[in-house]
Structures are given as C-alpha cells and as structure tokens.
Amino acid sequence: MEKFKLSSGMVVADFGSGSGHYALAAAKELRGTGTVYAIDVQKDLLAAIKTEAESKHLNNLEIIWGDVENDKGSRLADESVDFVIISNLLFQAQDKAAIARETKRVLKIGGMAAIIDWSDSFGGTGPTPNMVVPKSKAEEIFITEDFKLEKEFDAGTHHYGMIFKKNSSSVNKSLNNSHFL
C-alpha cells in the first residue's frame, strides 16, 4: 500500500476486487476516513469482503456488484474517485480497453490508477501463457486512453506494477470537438 501513497479522505475503487486484499488494505490505510469501493462481478466474494470489513470495523468500505468492462459498470459517478486499483484483472478481461475507459470515467482529474498483473505464466501458478497481458500491452492500453505512466513499481516475483495518472486533457474531449452554430 505504501507504493500507492493513499492519504486521509481519499476515495478509492478496487476494480475486480476478488478476495478483497487491496480493498481491505486500502480501507485500513485510510484509517476510517474517505471511502473504499470494492467492485466485482462475483456476489459471493463481495459478501465475504463485507463480512471481513465488518469484523475489522472498517466502516469506510462499501461493496458494489458491478462489471467494469461495461460502460458505467462500476456504478460510480463520473470523476468521483481519487485512486483506482486494478489487480489481476486485465488477464481475465475480454475487453481490456473498456476497463481503462471506465477507470478514466470515474477518476478525478489528476487521479491515479495502479495496475498490477501477471508478468508471465509460471507452470501452474497464474494464468495460462495466452492469457497473460504483457506489461507493454497494459501500458499501451492505458496510454491510448490518455493516461500518463507515472512510475513502475516492484509488485513481486510474478507480477508487474505501474501507476498511471489521468491527464486533465482527457476530460470532455467531445466538447472540444463540438461545433456550435
């Protein structure tokens, strides 16, 4: 969590929260301030996260049943989030660019997104080789959606980690291209 530099009062979204490892850690890191949204398509995992959050008295964690591969699938408001965590999700996704678009939609201007995913297939550990999303491909997906790579970080032996910043120029581009009579 120290690599994410979360601070008091932030709004954090964990896209594809799975078991809730990052969502629970973020809620603890914020020390009861701000809000952490754990978003996943699997209701049973969300129920387990909720139970664990309640047992740890993490009242700043909320669960959302949503699919971040769909337009507005996170169910979060536009430009309402300071930091998005996307861990071990890209390799599972059918539409990887949709995740980047949903991230851009919910992030505030200057908001950050951490991408953590498998760096390779490791003989039974992790995804099959054809499912792995190389770091260069993940970077390309987010840069195409007008993010700037801020830094890379060590995410362990079998993973890569990158933090992207939402460019201010990515907001309301359609308004800049509108023609008024």
Whether this prediction's pTM lies above 0.75 is answered by: yes
CB-based burial label for 80 (10 Å; 0-12, 13-18, 19+): middle
Does the residue 5 lie in any domain? no
pLDDT over 90, % of the chain:
82
Q: Is residue 159 part of a domain?
A: yes
For residue 102, give the CATH number of its domain. 3.40.50.150
Distances (CA, A) of 13 to 136, 141, 156: 24, 19, 22
Query: How many Å apart are CA 163 and CA 1, to the nearest integer?
Result: 12
Q: Is residue 161 part of a domain?
A: yes
Number of domains in the chain: 1
Q: Is 3 a domain residue? A: no
Domain assignment of residue 88, given as a range: 11-176
Query: What dihedral do alpha carbons 86, 22, 17, 94 form, nearest 10°?
Result: 20
Average pLDDT in the 58-64 region?
A: 97
Instruction: Taking each helix axis as running N to C, give the angle between helix 96-106 and helix 135-144, from 0 to 180 degrees, rounded to the nearest 10.
Output: 50
Write the pLDDT tens digit of every residue in 112-140. Answer: 999 999 998 777 778 888 899 999 999 99
In a domain? residue 109: yes
Condensed to tens digits (0 to 9), the pLDDT of residues 70-113 reads 999 999 999 999 999 999 999 999 999 999 999 999 999 999 99
- The residue type of 133 is V
Domain-embedded: residue 181? no
Has residue 122 been placed in a domain? Answer: yes
175: confidence class by pLDDT, cuts 50, 70, 90: very low
Q: Quick check: is 97 in a domain?
A: yes
Average pLDDT on 55-81 reads: 97
Q: How far apart are CA 23 and CA 3, in angstroms?
A: 15
- Angle at the Cα of 94 (from 91 to 99), degrees rounded to 5? 80
